[in-house]
């Protein structure tokens, strides 16, 4: 019986600074034979022994097995300690956990991806998967909003994404500080939906970001004609075990760690506390 609490050592082989407080780490298991098989939207538990453990979504493409990436924002003790690590350091990894985006059911379908802030992280793997297997998917539109231009993550990849046929990227920020040139939109991310050219009747929508944002996005999407069952949201909760034992991530009868983190809109609607549905 393998102990699921045991972490496996992985080495940091690359660090890329995304914003002032966000970094993307490339990890490789020390035991080379073991790659990581995962679905975009799933997460790993990353440990710094002695500091703690936390859930972080896997942000690389699932086609790349031998190494994987995590995009991590500086929040608490653990992320602060991660921030101090350099290439060559070892961290503990176990996973992947969670259900991930319903990749199989969106084959040949159009997808609208809506993200806010660091919420683009769990969607990047999906975007890169689409870019690599372009023929398997329909049109893709990425609507991404952030607070300020320098809070946008994965900026180095926007060029690649725009170059992919039938993939469109729309950007917006809440505020533009003086002296910064910003050629894109300004305002809440909901406004970007107006640019969509996808026929909503048979399309899917994936979203991740602050819950208040997703609440308004869901409402707009439904008004635009998206079917409720085709809208998916990735939720955030505190997790410590990742396998429905510690009970922290429970929302009503659902565990975010095994039933989620990706939930369809009807599933979310059935949960108590009226998360995304309070206003719709």
Partner 1 sequence: MKSKSALRLENLDILIEAVLQKHLTYGPLAKDGEYAWQKIDPKSNPYMGCAVTMLPAKHILQPVWQDIYSFKFGNGFQIKEPELAEKIALFGISPCDVNSILALDRVFGGRLIDPYYWKRRENTLIVAANCTEVAGESFCTSWDTGPELYSNYDLLITELSDGYLLEVGSPKGEDVVAVLNLPKATQDHLNEKAVRLNAARAATKKKLPVAPDDLHRFLKERFNHPAWVPNSDACFSCGNCTIACPTCYCFDIRDEVMPSRSIGVRRSEWDSCQLLEFAEVGFHANFRRLRIDRFKHRTIHKLSWMKQQYGLTGCVGCGRCVRWCPSWPERRGRITSLADPVEIVTDLMEPSERYEGIERPGGVIA
Partner 2 sequence: MNLKKPPARTLDLKRTEVKLTASVNSNDKVKTALFKFTCCAGCQFALLYFFHQLPETLELLDFVYFKMAMRKELEEPYELAFVEGGVSTPEHIEQLKAIRSQAKVLVAFGACAAHGGIPSIKNWQTERAVEENVYPDPLLVSSIKVSPIDEFVKVDYHLRGCPIDEVEFMELIRSVAADKSPYIRGHPVCVECKLRNNICILLMREGVQEGMCLGPVTRAGCRAVCTSNMRACFGCRGPMSNSNIPEMVRTFMGKGFSAKDIEMRFTEYAGLSAEFSEGARAYYGRKTPYYHRKAA
Structure tokens at 175: 């505020």
Secondary element (H or E) of residue 221: helix 211-224
For residues 225, 228, 232 and 234, what is the CA-based torsion angle, rounded to 10 degrees?
110
Closest CB 61 distance from partner 1, rounded Å: 26
Span of 13-21, 24-32, 89-97, 171-179 interacting with partner 2 by CB under 8 A: 89-97
DSSP 24-49: EEEEEESSTT------TT-EEEEEET
Q: Give residues 31-50 in contact with partner 2 (rule: CB under 8 A).
A: 48-50
Distance CA(225)–CA(3), nearest Å, equals 46
Q: Of 80, 87, 75, 77, which is closest to residue 25 (Cα–Cα)? A: 87
Of 177, 187, 225, 252, the one binding partner 1 (CB under 8 A) is 252
Indicate whether 247 belongs to the interface with partner 2 (CB under 8 A). no
Span of 67-75, 85-93, 184-192, 268-276 interacting with partner 2 by CB under 8 A: 85-93
Indicate whether 80 belongs to the interface with partner 2 (CB under 8 A). yes
Indicate whether 253 belongs to the interface with partner 1 (CB under 8 A). yes
Distance CA(278)–CA(4), nearest Å, equals 37
Contact 19, 31 (CB under 8 A): no
Of 4, 30, 31, 76, the one binding partner 2 (CB under 8 A) is 76
Name which of partner 1, partner 2, none residue 246 binds, using a CB cut-off of 5 to 8 Å depending on partner kind: partner 1
DSSP 235-270: -----SSSSSSS-TTEETTEETTTT-SEEEHHHHHH
- Site track for partner 1 across 46-85, x = CB under 8 A: ---xxxxx---------------------xx--x------
Tell how strand 231-234 and strand 262-264 pair up. antiparallel
Contact 142, 168 (CB under 8 A): yes
Q: Give residues 137-196 in contact with partner 1 (rule: CB under 8 A).
A: none
Q: Which is nearer to partner 1, 174 or 236 (CB)?
A: 236
Indicate whether 6 belongs to the interface with partner 2 (CB under 8 A). no
Q: Which is nearer to partner 1, 165 or 253 (CB)?
A: 253
Closest CB 89 distance from partner 1, rounded Å: 10
Indicate whether 17 belongs to the interface with partner 2 (CB under 8 A). no
Closest CB 200 distance from partner 2, rounded Å: 44
């Amino acid at each position: 019986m393998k102990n699921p609490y045991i972490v496996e050592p992985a080495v940091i082989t690359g660090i890329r600074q995304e914003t002032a407080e966000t970094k993307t780490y490339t990890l490789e298991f020390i035991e080379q034979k073991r790659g990581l098989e995962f679905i975009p939207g799933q997460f790993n538990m990353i440990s710094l022994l002695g500091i703690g453990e936390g859930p972080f979504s896997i942000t690389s493409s699932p086609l790349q097995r031998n190494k994987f990436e995590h995009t991590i924002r500086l929040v608490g003790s653990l992320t602060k300690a991660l921030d101090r690590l350099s290439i060559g350091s070892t961290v503990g990894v176990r996973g992947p956990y969670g259900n991930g985006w319903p990749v199989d059911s969106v084959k040949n379908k159009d997808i609208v991806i809506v993200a806010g802030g660091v919420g683009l992280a769990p969607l990047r793997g999906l975007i890169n998967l689409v870019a690599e297997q372009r023929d398997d998917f329909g049109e893709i539109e990425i609507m991404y909003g952030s607070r300020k231009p320098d809070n946008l993550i994965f900026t180095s990849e926007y060029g690649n994404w725009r170059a992919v046929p039938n993939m469109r990227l729309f950007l917006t920020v809440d505020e533009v500080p003086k002296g910064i040139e910003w050629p894109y939109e300004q305002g809440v991310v909901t406004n970007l939906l107006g640019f969509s050219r996808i026929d909503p009747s048979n399309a899917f929508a994936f979203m991740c970001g602050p819950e208040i944002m997703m609440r308004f996005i869901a409402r707009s999407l439904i008004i635009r004609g998206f079917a409720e069952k085709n809208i998916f949201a990735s939720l955030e909760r505190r997790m410590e075990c990742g396998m429905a034992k510690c009970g922290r991530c429970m929302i009503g009868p659902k565990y975010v760690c095994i039933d989620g983190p990706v939930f369809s809109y009807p599933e979310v609607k059935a949960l108590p506390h009226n998360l995304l549905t309070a206003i719709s």
